[in-house]
Amino acid sequence: MQLEQQLREQLRGKDILLMTHIVLGYPSFEVNREVIKQMVESGVDCIEMQIPFSEPMADGPVILKANQDSLAMGTRVDECFSFAAEITRQHNIPFLFMTYYNIIFKYGEEKFFEHAQECGITGLIVPDLPPEMGTSFLALAKSYQIAPILIFTPTSTDKRMRELEKYGNGFIYCVARRGVTGKKSSLDQEFNAYLQRCKNSTKLPLAVGFGIQSKEDIERLKGKADMAVIGSRTIQLVEAEGAEAVGQFIASLR
Amino acid sequence: MDHNGFFGNWGGAYIPEVLHQTFQELKEEYRKSRRDPAFWQEYISLMSTYSCRPTPLTYAENLTHHFGGAKIYIKREDLNHTGAHKANNVMGQGLLVKRMGKTRVIAETGAGQHGMATATMAAKFGLECTIYMGEEDVLRQRPNVFWMEKMGATVIPVKDGSRTLKDAINQAFRDWVTNVDNTHYVFGTACGPAPFPEMVSWFQSVIGNEAAEQIMKYHGKMPSHIYACVGGGSNAMGIFQRFLGEQGVELIGVEAGGHGADSGAHAIRLSSPDATPGVAQGYKTMFLQNDDGQMKHTHSVAAGLDYVGVSPILSDLWDKNQVRFESATDTEVMQALDLTMKKEGIIPALESSHAFAGAFKEVGQLAKDDAIIINQSGRGDKDIFTIAHAFEDPSWKEFIIDRAREYSK
């Protein structure tokens, strides 16, 4: 409930929200800190922080490399928690964890939720955990008041969307196209029809991600989605131009 | 398998949502084919005309005398078309692909045998084919890469992570989520999300079914022990299934001991304390991973066993003490391979040589009127570069140097 309400409040006075993605420990926690500061100051509404995993099956080359480099530098799950605790104290927007299920499973599901709650995390995105596999996960999400973010895709049937929606909370993450993160999506007629199906299947806010890269993309989403997700693009920007470039880029999106 | 794809505590289908629909279709087609006797008939007929089924069960007389224990029989999956048991699974999935009407197949490969088999099937059935192979394995298994390309497949070297089998699997999944509408992922072993572990084991069950009939014919009773190497576990599942619950038959899976169980450089999941329960590559099993759940680097002289996970069905059989797991080191494997070539004129693959090494450690102590079966999952000539290198064969080295000189002119 928390996350949804918070997003709804933020939506008052804005035509679309922005969510960004960072990979924890890449290129360093130091740079993560600066990037988040710039993002928040230039009006980002929500940030998903990825705890790196050695087998990021759903991620494209940019985020895959970021995961691997972060781990090669020794990033540990506990460090990610301490970093989250620090960041959520400093900034007053919702922060989510994104990670693969093994990280949570290995940490211990209940312990993970307990620590995530202590660290001020309000939602979890786990791309390799369909609800059928997540019975205990979903029960814990409810009792710890952390929103499990469910995912709609263009291959989801209407029936499947309605099924997923029963378990979702916070918002629904609509994947803009087939494939992995990072490649450009064409937001065409077919996409609009898909988004309409998403809208008809849920009352939760809709976030659209995968291949959203420019002001033009975000313009097209206005009125159709509640939140646009920028992922790989800012990671590439930090690689090419450093953390300083992020603020200006985000500001240019609105 | 229960309705969520679990075998006891293991298995499941931890898949990205974009694949949900395609898995529904695959499960349905698999269920229909399993119920349809005509499907299995078509499969057996294909395997006996396009491949060499039934493969022979060879009595290894010289090895038997050498060890002086139980009679040694070898199940010859090396004589299957493309030189390994992999073809059993691939041709079966090929028939499913035709039923599903998909036009493109992709596959991961470690040793290259599964890639070879998939490229062969794609050529025969007129399908587009892309094979993902860890960069390290491309180097280890160059001859297989050559043949896959010659049969029209695109081989993509995977440069991420440890550049071996698990990374090839991740990359194949990334392709699948992108091209899900026309593409089927021909999973190569009894791992991955349901229904793959059970489906692959079903196609491989042909090995054990034949072996049971053959051993009764030659030996007059069931074997006392059956040995199979275990990477992902498909050849082991193939031969073990028929004998599960058979009184007096012990099933032994031999894992890759690499540089030794204490070295950290191995791929022993079930017969060492190094592995712990985890979820990756779409399924739950025992993985070689650190405390945070990050997968470790594995090592084996055999590319096909160099893998962090193991079939969830084997984890379940291990839980229930229905299969015993052992390991063999790289050195033991080379010795077993050498002995088998010299005594029998048979060249097992480095993967299969693990089963031989495991059996050789025990067979001398087994009763003479008993028999054991070793599953020779594949042939070793694909490993010529690795084997020649490991034996430090001088005349082979000279040949390579001469050939390189010729090419660099």
Give dist(CA A218, CA A45) in Å, integer.
Answer: 14
- Over the Cα atoms of chain B, what is R_g? 20
Which residue is closest to B290 within chain A, CA to CA? A106
Determine contact, residues A27/A75, Cβ cutoff 8 Å. Answer: no
Give dist(CA A99, CA A127) in Å, integer.
Answer: 7
Distance from CA of A115 to the nearest CA of B (A): 15
- Per-residue pLDDT of B277-286, as tens digits, reads 999 999 999 9
Give dist(CA A129, CA A97) in Å, integer.
Answer: 14
Determine contact, residues B103/B126, Cβ cutoff 8 Å. Answer: no
ipTM of this complex: 0.95
**Letter string b/e over residues A164-191, b meaning 16 or more CB atoms within 10 A of that residue's CB:** bbebbbbbbbbbbbbbbbbeebebeeeb
SS3 A110: helix
Catalytic residue (one of B86, B102, B166, B284): B86
Closest CA to B26 of B132, B113, B97, B123: B97
Going through B128-262 in order, the beta strands assigned E by DSSP cover 128-134, 154-158, 183-185, 225-229, 250-258
Q: What is the pLDDT along chain A (254 residues), one digit of tens a residue?
A: 589 999 999 999 899 999 999 999 999 999 999 999 999 999 999 999 999 999 999 998 899 999 999 999 999 999 999 999 999 999 999 999 999 999 999 999 999 999 999 999 999 999 999 999 999 999 999 999 999 999 999 999 999 999 999 999 999 999 998 888 777 777 788 899 999 999 999 999 999 998 888 999 999 999 999 999 999 999 999 999 999 999 999 999 98
Contacts with B277 from chain A: Cβ below 8 Å: 105
**Cβ of A135: how many Cβ atoms within 10 Å?**
11
The tokens of B113 are what?
């045998």
Question: Does the annotation mark B344 as catalytic?
Answer: no
Give dist(CA A55, CA B360) in Å, integer.
Answer: 37
Cα–chain-centroid distance for residue B133? 15
Contacts with A55 from chain B: Cβ below 8 Å: 161, 166, 170, 280-281, 295
Determine contact, residues A91/A44, Cβ cutoff 8 Å. Answer: no
The tokens of A137 are what?
């996960």
- Over the Cα atoms of chain A, what is R_g? 17
Q: B168: Cβ–Cβ under 8 A, 6 or more apart, which residues?
A: B108, B109, B110, B132, B133, B134, B137, B158
Q: Which amino acid is at B211?
A: A
Catalytic residue (one of A4, A45, A48, A217): A48
**Letter string b/e over residues B240-267, b meaning 16 or more CB atoms within 10 A of that residue's CB:** bbbbeeeeebbbbbbbbbbeebeeeebb
Interface contact B278-A54, CB threshold 8 A: no
The CATH code for residues A2-244 is 3.20.20.70
Give dist(CA B130, CA A54) in Å, integer.
Answer: 24
Strands A17-23 and A227-230 come out as parallel
Interface contact B293-A175, CB threshold 8 A: no
Which residue is closest to B176 within chain A, CA to CA? A179
Give chain A's contact residues with B (Cβ, < 8 Å): 53-58, 60, 64-65, 68, 71, 76-77, 100-103, 105-107, 127-130, 132-133, 150-157, 160, 164, 175, 178-180
The tokens of A51 are what?
């705890």
The tokens of A243 are what?
């953390």
Distance from CA of A153 to the nearest CA of B (A): 6
Q: What is the pLDDT along chain B (409 residues), one digit of tens a residue?
A: 899 999 999 999 999 999 999 999 999 999 999 999 999 999 999 999 999 999 999 999 999 999 999 999 999 999 999 999 999 999 999 999 999 999 999 999 988 899 999 999 999 999 999 999 999 889 878 889 999 999 999 999 999 888 888 999 999 999 999 999 999 999 999 999 999 999 999 999 999 999 999 999 999 999 999 999 999 999 999 999 999 999 999 999 999 999 999 999 999 999 989 999 999 999 999 999 999 999 999 999 998 999 999 999 999 999 999 999 999 999 999 999 999 999 999 999 999 999 999 999 999 999 999 999 999 999 998 888 888 988 899 999 999 999 999 999 8
Determine contact, residues B167/B309, Cβ cutoff 8 Å. Answer: no
Strands A123-125 and A95-98 come out as parallel
Catalytic residue (one of B77, B108, B332, B344): B108
Domains of chain B, each with CATH number or no CATH: 6-48+86-200 (3.40.50.1100), 52-83+205-389 (3.40.50.1100)
Determine contact, residues B233/B253, Cβ cutoff 8 Å. Answer: yes
Give dist(CA A88, CA A75) in Å, integer.
Answer: 19
Angle made by CA atoms A180, A182, A107, in degrees to the nearest 5:
60
Give dist(CA B77, CA B148) in Å, integer.
Answer: 20
Report pLDDT for B110.
86
Determine contact, residues A9/A218, Cβ cutoff 8 Å. Answer: no
- Beta bridge partners, A207, equal A173, A227
